[in-house]
Amino acid sequence: MGYYNEYKAEKTVQDLRQAVSIKAVVTRDGKTSQIDSKLLVPGDLVSVYVGDLVPADVRIVKLKDLETNEATFTGESFPVEKTANKIDIQNPTPQELTNYLFMGSVVVHGSAQSVVVSTGKNSKLGSISGSLTRSHPETEFQKGVKSYGNMLLGFTLVLAVSIFSVNAAIGHDLVWSLTFSLAIAVGLVPELMPAIVTISLSQGARRMANVKVIVKRLVSIEDFGNMAVLCTDKTGTLTEGKIALKDVHPLGEEKDQRLFTYSLLCNTAVAGETVVGNPMDVAIWEHALQNDSQKSVEPYNRVDEIPFDYQRRMMSVVVNKNREYTLISKGAPESVFSKCKYADVSGKIELITDVQKAINDKFYSLSELGYRILAVASRNIEKRTSYSVEDEKDLTLLGFLIFTDPPKKDAHDAINKLNDMGVAVKILTGDNELVAKTICEDLKIPVKKVVVGSDLMQMNWNEIKAVVEETTIFARITPEQKLDIIKALKANKHVVGFLGDGVNDAPALYEADVGISVDTAVDVAKEAADIVLLEKDLLVLANGINEGRKIFGNTMKYILMGTSSNFGNMFSAAAASVFLPFEPMLASQILFMNLLYDVSNMTLPTDNVDDEYVKAPKRWDMSFVRKYTLFFGPFSSLYDFLTFGIMLFIFNAQTKLTAPLFQAGWFVESFWTEVLVMFVIRTRRIPFFTSRPGKWLTLLTLSCVAFGTILPFTILGSFMGFAALPPEYWVLLVLMVATYLVLVDAGKVFFYKICKY
Amino acid sequence: MPNIDLFTWWALSISFSSIFLIFISIYLFIDSKSRRKEDIRKKAGAFRIGRNFAFVWVLLGLLVFYIFSIQLGAGVLSEAIFAVGNIVVEALLVLYLLRQREEDSKQA
């Protein structure tokens, strides 16, 4: 396993290296050449152009209309406009460093000359690769199994050593004492557990694949089911991950059809089979096609275009309808405002200076909701052969276009479903807090608290641990902060899942108890994840969690049975060995019973799990397992002792000669109680028979019981040292076992009232 | 009459397992109350505590009954008493469980 983990970690690093192995245009000693980005050093002058992957962390010296996409790095879906100016912010987050380009981001517009600041592992991206070189931390389930193993080891050692010592001290044969104590030790060890866990996990993985959840690391399935907190990014999970036109806002109350028609006319997107072009122009066209309103542009003829540039931050077109020429401008609101003289407020033309405050209020209130906004303005213009930037004057402001990364239709239901399942959802985004908050409001997700990366940076560890409990949205955060949030949640004893798909998410995917990625994620994220969703959909996730809980439930059944009835039986055997004048059961008989019991459990992974069990996440609680053992173990011992009484005093099996009868009687009772109590323990329902067990489990268990019952009457039984049991025994056995099962059920009422799990 | 030494040992063993179980129940009860920081005397009256421990009373009753019926030794009478006693206890427990189920569903 260790080797496998190391191999995977190494492969992840290789993928990361491959992903960032790029060429760079560098100027050294006045000579410009293209070199491998690995050879860049701080101080090099690097040029980047549209489509380039930034080769190192660089400080921009000179730029032209530069925009970059930092989505894989920050999670933000909108392009980021860059500047060459000095940024005067103390402790800025990477998102605030707009005069920097980060290694791995993509230039989507313009070009820049910049100076290399840090390269390779010293870059922001490199620091991510550094955190991936270690193996996955132990999952909660692995820790639980380990502590369970330690508890059993302690029990087994104490019991085996005591049995051997006491039996040897009272004069029993040393070899017999040793083999008997070893048989008891073997009886206590749940040797089938690895098989049960592996079968459960592999069958579960297959079932999860049917609900579009691919499990990469089997051991994470149980933690997946027990996940109490899911940290997820916003883009693509809560939102569609693409820009869409949300609404058009005229300046007054009345709708103005011109606003949308003009935005379609003043547009550079090309609508064919698919719409291509600038993301905002594409969004306008897609909105038109969805609402079948593209025909509104048909009466217009496009006469000329004044293209967009980064100085004006707007574009214009001139159109002609019925020989009337109109200049339409669309762009950044501040830029468009500066070209406007008038404003159209519900059809009334006002001087813009008179309504400027109301317009600004509207613009800022929409901005505060986290929307991206464009303004649209127009004016009548005389017919000419060509038009220029100088014509963009005396415009009449018509209104705003509101863009957003729209929320997913089913995200609200998915979040509700997750909450109903006891999974708290926290949003970790590189995007700004307003956008994240607006999305949550649109989806009706209750937001307790919003914390931004810069606030988090000021906090000490204890403050972070406290704040992660009450915060729903973490905005403008760095990959390192994502890691801190997950560590803090884990330190607060939560089983934490993280859903992410960018390079920046890889460390958090590694650190979380369950790293979840999607099929469309970057390779590094997929490699770091434990679970890959074939659809980036929280509903798919909810189905997977359900499966994980069923698997955990069936694994726990085996553990609780093994540590209660099994423990009780071995304890009775140990006590009886001290006082009886013969062996209560031969070592070979104990081992055979153990084998038969394990066979009966082979189909446990296919058992049904009660609906109420999968409603909330569980955690591995060793204190609960210990209490369960201490409470339910003695029930089994009580009925073992009762069987001793029946065999000794009703059937007079008190001598070495009648020992085979005693052993057969106890073997059958012990086996019946040990196996049949599974039907009581497997459910919390009272009475136990109101929960339907799996058919294969029922079939195999009853077959094993039947085999154990007839064993004393067979040649194999004789060979093993059993004697045939009298008919009266069976009557007493049936009554006794029935009382035992109902008594354990009554014990469950008491136990689950006081031991919450 | 059964061998007295063996019988005494047996009676002690079965009593020990029952008493151990009762002690564990009391320990778990007190532990749960102390973890929830409840005052046992204030929050739970004697009757309520008694009701919580219903299975313990059944257990003690069963213990006495089992020791008594086994003491009778071999014979149809002891087997019949053993059978009838078990059936009565089972019936009582099933009634208790069904009532408990009704209470649980009301609470839910």
Q: Give dist(CA A554, CA A147) in Å, integer.
A: 19
**Do the chains contact at A746 and B13, CB–CB below 8 Å?**
no
CB contact under 8 A, B74 and A631: no
End-to-end CA distance of chain B: 53
Set out the domains of chain A in order of their start, with CATH numbers.
2-126 (2.70.150.10), 140-212+549-754 (1.20.1110.10), 220-240+408-534 (3.40.50.1000), 244-404 (3.40.1110.10)
Helix (H, G, I), strand (E, B) or coil at A404: strand
Per-residue confidence (pLDDT) for residue B44, from 0 to 100: 55
Residue A61 touches chain B, beta carbons under 8 Å? no
Task: Check A735 against B58: CB less than 8 A apart.
Answer: no
CA distance A431 to A71: 9
How does A590-609 read in b/e, with b if 16+ C-beta sit within 10 Å?
bbbbbebbbbbbbbbbbbbb
The SS3 assignment for A68 reads strand
Domain coordinates of chain B in residue numbers? 4-107
User: Helical H runs in A211-321?
Assistant: 220-226, 257-265, 279-290
Is omega for the bond preceding A687 within 30 degrees of 0, making it cis? yes
Residues of A in contact with B7 (CB under 8 A): 648-649
- Residues A400 and A259: their CA atoms lie apart, in Å, by 8
Question: Would you state the pLDDT for residue A733?
Answer: 94
Q: Is A88 a catalytic residue?
A: no
What pairing do the DSSP bridges indicate for beta strands A473-475 and A424-428?
A: parallel
Q: Do B52 and A753 touch (CB under 8 A)?
A: yes
Confidence label for B43 from pLDDT (cuts 50, 70 and 90)? low
Interface check B32 vs A, CB under 8 A: yes
Residue A627 three-state SS = helix
How confident is residue B55, by pLDDT bands cut at 50, 70 and 90? confident
**Catalytic residue (one of A52, A233, A501, A530):** A233
Q: What are phi and psi of A515, to 5 degrees?
A: -90, 125
Rounded to 10°, the helix A2-19/A124-131 angle is 170
Q: Which residues of B touch A686 (CB under 8 A)?
A: 97, 100-101, 104
Residues A490-525 pLDDT 10s: 999 899 999 988 777 888 888 898 999 888 777 777
Q: Which residues of A touch B90 (CB under 8 A)?
A: 735, 738-739, 742
ipTM score of complex: 0.88
Q: Is A726 on the interface with B (CB under 8 A)?
A: no
Is A734 part of the contact surface with chain B (CB cutoff 8 Å)? no
Contact residues on chain A for B71, CB-CB shorter than 8 A:
649
Which chain A residues have a beta carbon less than 8 Å from that of B102? none
Question: Environment class of residue A175 by beta-carbon count within 10 Å: exposed (0-12), middle (13-18) or buried (19+)?
Answer: exposed
Q: Measured between alpha carbons, how far is residue A250 from residues A211, A362, A377, B19 in Å?
A: 45, 10, 11, 82
Contact residues on chain B for A731, CB-CB shorter than 8 A? 79, 83
Radius of gyration of chain A from Cα atoms?
36
- C-beta atoms of B21 and A638 within 8 A: yes
Tens-digit pLDDT profile for residues A571-612: 788 888 878 888 888 888 988 988 898 888 888 888 999 988
Query: Which DSSP string corresponds to A538-598?
Result: HHHHHHHHHHHHHHHHHHHHHHHHHHHHHHHHHHHHHHHHHHSSS-SS-HHHHHHHHHHHH
Q: From A529, A518, A414, A478, select the one nearest A76 (Cα to Cα).
A: A478
Query: Does B68 lie at the interface with A, CB-CB under 8 angstroms?
Result: no
Cβ distance A732 to B82 less than 8 Å, yes or no, reads yes
**What DSSP string runs through A507-547?**
HHHHHSSEEEEETTS-HHHHHH-SEEESS--HHHHHHHHHH
Q: Give exposure, A637-662, as e/b (b: 16+ Cβ within 10 Å).
A: bbbbbbbbbbbbbbbebbeeebbbbb
Tell me how many degrees the CA angle A645-A650-A654 measures, rounded to the nearest 5.
70
Name the DSSP class of A94. G
For A638, the token pair is: 């009580």
Looking at residue B30, its amino acid is I
CB contact under 8 A, B90 and A742: yes
- Could you tell me if residue A241 is left (phi over 0), alpha (psi between -120 and 50 degrees) or otherwise beta? left
Length of chain B: 108
- The minimum CA-CA distance between B101 and chain A, rounded to whole Å, is 6
**Contact status of B24 with chain A (Cβ, < 8 Å):** yes
Question: Nearest CA of chain A to the CA of B5: how many Å?
Answer: 10
Chain A, residues 620-639, CB within 8 A of chain B, namely 627, 630-631, 634-635, 637-638
Q: Using an 8 Å Cβ cutoff, are A404 and A248 in contact?
A: no
What sections of A44-111 are H helices per DSSP? Answer: 71-74
Q: Does A658 touch chain B (CB under 8 A)?
A: no
* pTM, full prediction: 0.73
A:B CB pairs within 8 Å? 130
Q: Is some CB atom of chain A closer than 8 A to the CB atom of B73?
A: yes
Residue ranges in chain A whose pLDDT is less than 70: 1-22, 71-78, 128-136, 757
Is B98 in the A-facing interface, judged by CB distances under 8 Å?
yes
Taking phi over 0 as left and psi of -120 to 50 as alpha, with beta for the rest, A210 belongs to alpha
What does the pLDDT read at residue A128?
67
Nearest to A746 among B14, B82, B93 (CB): B93
Beta strands in A5-127, from DSSP E residues, in sequence order = 23-28, 31-36, 45-48, 57-69, 80-81, 100-101, 106-118
> CB–CB of A408/A398 below 8 Å?
no
The kind and range of the H/E element at A733 are helix A727-754
Whether B86 and A736 lie within 8 Å, measured CB to CB = yes
pLDDT at A78: 66
CB atoms within 10 A of CB A142: 18
Which of the residues A626, A648, A688, A737 would you substitute to probe the B interface, choosing the one with the greatest number of B C-beta atoms within 10 Å? A648
Which contiguous run of DSSP H or E holds residue B32? Answer: helix B4-35
**DSSP bridge partners of A100:** A59
Q: What share of chain A is helix, strand, coil (3-state, %, to 5)?
A: 50, 20, 30
Is A755's CB within 8 Å of B32's CB?
yes
- A479-491 and A461-470 helices cross at what angle (nearest 10)? 80
CA distance A125 to A113: 20
Q: Cβ B74–A735 below 8 Å, yes or no?
A: no
